Structure 1
């Protein structure tokens, strides 16, 4: 049984097509099909049920796929560890971040990392802090840049604090409060808000601040994409609260107003301390 055969099986399973799997593996379909059939003959059972229009894993194939993926991951890790021992950092690095990272200059860090380790392939994703922590625990993300309300810390992962910032109110230049030099939350309690989805850490920072002040507010617009929230604010449909460093001080389309009792956001870099890859360790050296 060869690693290449396992790669072909994984590709066919994920693509649900021998044709697409062959294109993905940069091999002619006949060669890929021959290798998969040879593996099935060696194993003594079929991995796929085939028709002229459909390809599906058999029960045996589903069980085999789990081990095949694990073997391929172990083989890749062995190669990257050997390269690291020889002074080279290779492999893949999955980085996740919240939409409003401010404590880390992500483009600058990426530039420095790529210059130092050009053979590492990097995958980036943007999502919420809770989702990132879960992805780190599963092994789907190597490094996460998180933002949590004051008093909360990442759980189940290794972490380091990288910064703290207080939220500001963000309004349209046409808003009645746009000329104010400072505000308190009670002066905003009657406004319509745009914010992150209910239950997300980004939303919790503001919700906790209003709850602590004994105030209620109306969140009429929800989005995970920060730019969409700001678009709603630009149209003067709502106001929002965001970390001060995320909103430009000088903007013709937005006005940020300091809050005397606004929420505080803490940023963290998080990772799994269970055998982090050489690429993960190299990236962390630039951040923490």
Structure 2
């Protein structure tokens, strides 16, 4: 048994197709199939159930996959640690980001990081703050940019506060409130709202603010991305509460959107989060680029 066989098993398990797995591994399909068949003979079990149309893990394959992924991760970490000891940062850096990140220009940061550490393979994943924090705890992500209500903090991860922000009301140009200097939640509770999907941390920030004020609102449109929210508002289909640092640059270039301060609106904190357990050299290198010390702001 060797690491290459494990890589082949993981590739087939993830693609559920020997041809696509071979393409991913840059190897011929017959060679990949031969190595997996040899591994199955060595183990004395079948890892995959095969037919002309389907490939699925057997129960033995499912059990083997867990250990194979752990072995591959350990091998990758060992190689990265050895390179780091020699002054070279290698390996993988998996970064998570919420779609309304505003405290850091993530594309610019990744460009700067790549220029300094070209041997690191950087992966980027967008999602909700709770999902991304869980992925860090589970070892799927190394570092993430999160946004949470100001009365919450990520748990089980190291964090540093990047920014504190407040939400503003976003309305279409020509809306009855577009000319107001400021509004309160009570002034806008009767409006039709566009917001993020129910249950997401981004949605919870506004839900909590209205609940704390004893108000009920109508969220008619739910969206998973901020771009869709602003497009719906521009079409005069509703209004929204969005983080000011995120929406101000977008509204400045879109005359169809008007921002109005909210006196008692939601407030959020943007965090940088990473694993509290033995950060990889690639993670430490990113913290250095950001000017963050790994021991700072443990939660």
Does the TM-score normalized on the shorter chain lie above 0.5?
Answer: yes
Matches within 5 A, 1:162-201: 162-201=162-201
Three-state SS of the structure 2 residue aligned to 1:74 is: helix
Q: Distance in 2 between matches of 1:206 and 1:19?
A: 47
Q: CA deviation at 1:76?
A: 0.9
Normalised by the length of structure 1, the TM-score is 0.94
Q: Counterpart in 2 of 1:139?
A: 139
Q: CA deviation at 1:16?
A: 2.4
Q: Distance in 2 between matches of 1:213 and 1:21?
A: 54
Q: Distance in 2 between matches of 1:54 and 1:107?
A: 39
Contact 2:156–2:276, Cα closer than 8 Å, also in 1: no
Q: CA deviation at 1:195?
A: 1.0
Q: CA deviation at 1:145?
A: 0.8
Q: Counterpart in 1 of 2:63?
A: 63
Match of 2:280 among 270, 277, 280: 277
Q: Counterpart in 2 of 1:77?
A: 77
Q: 1:165 to 1:39 in 2, by over 3 A?
A: same
Confirm whether residue 88 of structure 1 aligns to residue 91 of structure 2. no
Q: CA deviation at 1:196?
A: 1.3
Q: Counterpart in 2 of 1:216?
A: 216
Q: Distance in 2 between matches of 1:239 and 1:55?
A: 47
Normalised by the length of structure 2, the TM-score is 0.91
Q: Distance in 1 between matches of 2:98 and 2:55?
A: 38
Question: Which deviates further from its counterpart, 217-226 or 26-35?
Answer: 26-35
Q: CA deviation at 1:273?
A: 1.0
Q: CA deviation at 1:171?
A: 0.5
Q: Distance in 2 between matches of 1:108 and 1:13?
A: 34
Structure 2 unaligned blocks of 5 or more: 293-299
Q: 1:126 to 1:51 in 2, by over 3 A?
A: closer
Matches within 5 A, 1:24-43: 24-43=24-43
Question: Which deviates further from its counterpart, 89-98 or 43-52?
Answer: 43-52
Q: Distance in 1 between matches of 2:135 and 2:163?
A: 22
RMSD (CA atoms): 1.6
| Matched residues, number | 288
Q: Distance in 1 between matches of 2:135 and 2:94?
A: 10
Q: Distance in 2 between matches of 1:54 and 1:214?
A: 54
